[in-house]
Structure 1
Amino acid sequence: MSSNLSRRSVIKNIVAGAVALNIPLGFSAMANSNEENMEILKGNINHSVCRWCFSSIDLETLCIEAKKIGISAIDLVGPNDWPILKKHGLMSAMCSGAEINLVDGFNDPQFHETLIKNYTEMIPLVAKAGYKNLICFSGNKRGKTDEEGWNNCVKGLQALIPLAQKHNVVLVMELLNSKIDHKDYQCDTTKWGVELAKRLNSEHFKLLYDIYHMQIDEGDVIRTIRENHKYIAHYHTAGVPGRNEIDENQELNYPAIMKAIVQTGFTGYVAQEFIPKNPNKIDSLRKAIAICNI
């Protein structure tokens, strides 16, 4: 606490000195923005961050630093870590822990028994903790056609939709690229995911639109979001190419993408899922939130 007071005192002295000397307050405001970032966020985006990208930082520290920046949730943590989030007043914007892995998913009946058991146990836990979104995956094709994948996913997920509805939980399938990072993954385009959502026809099944992944596999990000936003429950970010910081060194225009998301009326979370190249990982996270603060 004493260090926080010291920083605040320094900032106040800088401001006072600048006023006395008639110096523009740009530097002071910039210094203050780091300390009071939460207060200057515009509030149009609910910010989260994916735990695994910052795994070198212990969760307690990540929670503390995230709150300073104005982040209100952590993505992809399970029940064992929820108490730490609650301690710091953070949400679990996208819960995990029921999936087998990324490749063995709902598109293959041989995994249905395990998946249904896992999700049947996890859905009530998510609800009891006060959370809503629970991630799931299609799995790899392994020679299956689109139609086979859709039919198998519908069969497996329909067994869980009534329970999800009872507990007001949303099963959220992530869109992953199959070109670079997840070879053979079936739910690798918005079109495929939306068709599955239409067949399930439930508000308790939605998509996780990963901007990084979909830029790689299909592009046309803003128009795709505008046309399919009602099927999307959550967004992830990262720079393309490389999956690193979302700054000017990569090809996506994140401020424009954030504006498009807001214009759809979206009230969920956008989670940073980039892998920091900067040794000061928290500084990269702070800058990413500033970029998305539209």
Structure 2
Amino acid sequence: MIRLAANLSMLFNEHDFMDRFSAAANAGFKGVEYLFPYAYSAKELRQALEETQLEQVLFNLPPGDWESGERGLASLPGHEAEFRDSVVEALRYAEMLNCPRVHAMAGLLPEDADDTTQADHQATYLRNLRYATNEAAKLGKEILIEPINTRDMPNYFLSRQVQAMAVLKELGANNLKLQFDLYHCQIMEGDLIRHLERQFSAIGHVQVAGVPERHEPDVGEVNYPALFAKLETLGYSGWVGCEYRPAGDTRQGLSWGRNYGLCP
């Protein structure tokens, strides 16, 4: 059975953030994810989860200076100490929220990046992920990496599935997994079912959104019922994060999820 998690950074924006937990639970969601928890104390987030009986399934490591345009630290030469601090902070929250996985955003390449710059970022990325997986393993947590499309996030370091799979293979850490966002993959590469089949053993989390506008999954060019059926056939038992921007009122747009336990 497909298990849906509401991304509270995008869904239920009709409510203040801390009220989105109850809104998600009332709509039939059993899990939640969001970009970053750090503006709130772990204690108050845990209380919201307990009151709504929701599972925290994912959030991101601190991304650097988001307001100034940073989109993750993992591949950025010269930011290694900041990245290590971000791992410590994320794992502290993960422990408090009983969250089994966190996503390490790769960060951006400079616009004028040449082969040498690319190589420096790659080496930094591998070193940082090795550190992150080692620290996460001590707590029984997973580190995820996610290819993100370069239309929405220009110059993002990790944008292709083959690139991510090569990183997983080189590091060989049992707790390093692929965050497979079907929206990003469709924009960059398409061929979603074949990607699912080839990469299934590496997938630690799945995310969805309609393509190309990133609205509800039943709008756009992707046949999500077929993809959900494929996930079930493959034996996927993880979560599917609903990381889309509702075209209107969140609750009214949930009719696509009736077959998966949602209550529009």
TM-score range, shorter chain: 0.7 to 0.9
Q: Distance in 2 between matches of 1:121 and 1:59?
A: 21
Q: Distance in 1 between matches of 2:24 and 2:72?
A: 32
In structure 2, the partner of 1:111 is 79
**In the alignment, residue 120 of structure 1 is paired with which amino acid?**
V
Q: Distance in 1 between matches of 2:121 and 2:7?
A: 28
Number of residue pairs aligned between Structure 1 and Structure 2: 246
Q: TM-score, normalised by structure 2?
A: 0.86
Greater relative contact order (Cα < 8 A, sep 6+): 2
In structure 2, the partner of 1:269 is 239
- Structure 1 residue 168 corresponds to structure 2 residue 127: no
In structure 1, the partner of 2:33 is 75
Q: Distance in 2 between matches of 1:64 and 1:177?
A: 31
In structure 2, the partner of 1:153 is 125
Q: Contact (CA 8 Å) 2:62, 2:86: kept in 1 or not?
A: yes
- Aligned partner (choices 124, 127, 133) of residue 101 of structure 2: 133
Please, which runs of 5 or more residues in structure 2 have no aligned partner?
none
Please, which runs of 5 or more residues in structure 1 have no aligned partner?
1-43
RMSD: 2.0
**In the alignment, residue 201 of structure 2 is paired with which amino acid?**
K
- Greater mean deviation of Cα atoms: 69-78 or 169-178: 69-78
Q: TM-score, normalised by structure 1?
A: 0.77
Quickly say closer, same or farther: Cα 1:288–1:115, change in 2 above 3 A. farther
In structure 2, the partner of 1:34 is none
- Greater mean deviation of Cα atoms: 82-91 or 196-205: 82-91
Q: Distance in 2 between matches of 1:95 and 1:60?
A: 15
In structure 1, the partner of 2:251 is 282
**In the alignment, residue 75 of structure 1 is paired with which amino acid?**
E
**In the alignment, residue 5 of structure 2 is paired with which amino acid?**
S
Q: Contact (CA 8 Å) 1:109, 1:156: kept in 2 or not?
A: no
Q: Distance in 2 between matches of 1:273 and 1:112?
A: 29
Deviation at 1:69, TM superposition (A): 3.1
In structure 2, the partner of 1:50 is 7
Report the secondary structure of 1:160's partner residue.
Answer: helix
Equivalent residues in 2 for 1:77-226, closer than 5 Å: 77-78=36-37, 80=40, 81-100=45-64, 101=66, 103-142=71-110, 143=113, 145=115, 147-178=119-150, 180-226=151-197
- The one-character-per-residue Cα deviations of 1:57-114 (angstroms, maximum 9, x if unpaired) are 2245432232233211111252633331222111111123533245342112212110
Quickly say closer, same or farther: Cα 1:140–1:56, change in 2 above 3 A. same
Deviation at 1:188, TM superposition (A): 0.6
- Greater mean deviation of Cα atoms: 150-159 or 191-200: 150-159
- The one-character-per-residue Cα deviations of 1:10-51 (angstroms, maximum 9, x if unpaired) are xxxxxxxxxxxxxxxxxxxxxxxxxxxxxxxxxx11110111
- The one-character-per-residue Cα deviations of 1:187-223 (angstroms, maximum 9, x if unpaired) are 1111111111111111221121111111000100111
In structure 2, the partner of 1:64 is 22
Deviation at 1:243, TM superposition (A): 0.6
- Greater mean deviation of Cα atoms: 231-240 or 92-101: 92-101
Quickly say closer, same or farther: Cα 1:53–1:125, change in 2 above 3 A. closer
Q: Contact (CA 8 Å) 2:205, 2:238: kept in 1 or not?
A: yes
